[in-house]
Amino acid sequence: MPKAVVNHASRKVSLHEGMRLVARHDGDYVSGPMQTEIWELTYSEWLDSCKQAKRQPVS
């Protein structure tokens, strides 16, 4: 999943969801060139996180 480095809210969500930062490179966006981070989460990791979320009580 590519994300602009300056998008701090998106980075926070990625970390919360258990994603890993795997690469960083230059990218082009509507607002101009900036650094891009590549994040990953495997399907099995995503399924595990969904199962854990269902077990936790909602506050």
pLDDT, one tens digit for every residue, the chain (59 residues)? 899 999 999 999 999 888 999 999 999 999 999 999 999 999 998 888 888 777 655 55
Res 54: pLDDT: 75
Res 55: pLDDT: 63
The radius of gyration computed from the CA coordinates of the chain, to the nearest angstrom, equals 14
- The full set of domain ranges for the chain reads 2-54
* Distance, CA of 2 to CA of 5 (rounded, Å): 9
CA 42-53-1 angle, to 5 degrees, is 30
Res 3: pLDDT: 92
